[in-house]
Structure 1
Amino acid sequence: MVKSYQGAFTMKSTQIEEPQSVTVADYMATKLITFKEYQPINEVMELLLKNKISGGPVCNEDNEIIGIISEGDCLKEIVRGKYNNTPKLPGLVKDHMATNIISIPPETNIFEAANMFLRMRFRRFPVIKEEKLIGQISQRDIMRAVQSMKEVNWKH
């Protein structure tokens, strides 16, 4: 008679895990620094530096996005000030923000969002639902999402 030294054991469940479908809503930032169109550029620069961010959405009173302001947009005002020999930065957000906004819906799959980043070369996309800003997804958010997924269960 041969005895097993494994002792008692139970068979693992044969359940097959469902593929993970991860959306932008699962990983987007929702506590955003937003700007107003009549805000001075020097305030924007202070907030960007203080919060260690490279840009953010510009919203109206109804939380509808009307533009995006970035570090590059602030640099334009700095160069203009140097050219005009004025050390102050009197420009307003509305004068420098990008208004050709490409947004993304919250139900967008993470892989589709990653493709959009590669094709369009943006650093961030505002996430819009029913014409309201509800969040923002960045390239870093996409990397964080993919890193947390189980490799064998990716669903495109």
Structure 2
Amino acid sequence: MQSMKVSVFMNRRPVVFTEQLPVEAAVERLLQSRQRGGPVVDAAQRVIGFLSEQDCLAAMLRGTYHNEMSATVGDCMYHGDVLTVFADDSIADVAQRMDANKPKVYPVLDDETKQLVGVITRTDVLAAIDSFFQDSYRQR
């Protein structure tokens, strides 16, 4: 399973946000994609934060309470160090990281440029492990 790489199972066209995007537009993107959150990137496609469904929910509740919606992604995103993985990481290693940490979506970075190249979710990792076991069963 160590030979199974993130690059094979990741979503290469994830929902991505910028700090200036209105939170309402971000919510629309999340709902249409069914992605639980996504990376926030700068102009160079480097990850500078993360926006989750929970972040959006909190911003929308505040907006409802004040009867206004003027928040941007930058106002409500997570600004700290975002847990990321690399495209060449093994699925087994990512699965272990997901077991120890709570994020459901990890931005995937290019090993050399450190730019965003996709995302991988727990569902993607589970599908990868399942395909490994399915292949093992067929070989018996």
TM-score for the superposition, normalised by structure 2: 0.87
Of the three residues 126, 130, 134, the one matched with 1:143 is: 126
Of the three residues 61, 75, 79, the one matched with 1:99 is: 79
Higher helix share: 2
Deviation at 1:53, TM superposition (A): 1.9
Q: How does 1:65-104 map to 2 (within 5 A)?
A: 65-84=47-66, 86=67, 88-100=68-80, 101-104=82-85
Unpaired segments ≥5 residues, structure 1: 1-18
Percent identity over paired residues: 28
**Partners of 1:90 and 1:63 in 2: CA distance:** 25
**Partners of 1:89 and 1:132 in 2: CA distance:** 31
Shift in CA distance, 103/20, structure 1 to aligned 2, threshold 3 Å? closer
**Partners of 1:89 and 1:137 in 2: CA distance:** 30
Shift in CA distance, 147/82, structure 1 to aligned 2, threshold 3 Å? same
Deviation at 1:20, TM superposition (A): 6.6
Partner AA of 2:32 in structure 1:
K
Q: How many residues align?
A: 132
Deviation at 1:135, TM superposition (A): 1.1
Deviation at 1:121, TM superposition (A): 1.1
Query: Superposition RMSD on alpha carbons, in Å?
Result: 1.6
Residue 2 of structure 2 contacts residue 92 of structure 2 at CA under 8 Å; is this kept in 1? no
1:112-143, CA deviations, whole angstroms, 9 ceiling, x for partnerless residues? 10111111111011111222001111111111
Residue 51 of structure 2 contacts residue 76 of structure 2 at CA under 8 Å; is this kept in 1? yes
Match of residue 93 from structure 2: 112
Unpaired segments ≥5 residues, structure 2: none
Q: Is 1:128 matched up with 2:109?
A: yes
Deviation at 1:31, TM superposition (A): 1.0
TM-score for the superposition, normalised by structure 1: 0.78
**Partners of 2:64 and 2:26 in 1: CA distance:** 18
Deviation at 1:82, TM superposition (A): 3.1
Q: Bigger radius of gyration, 1 or 2?
A: 1
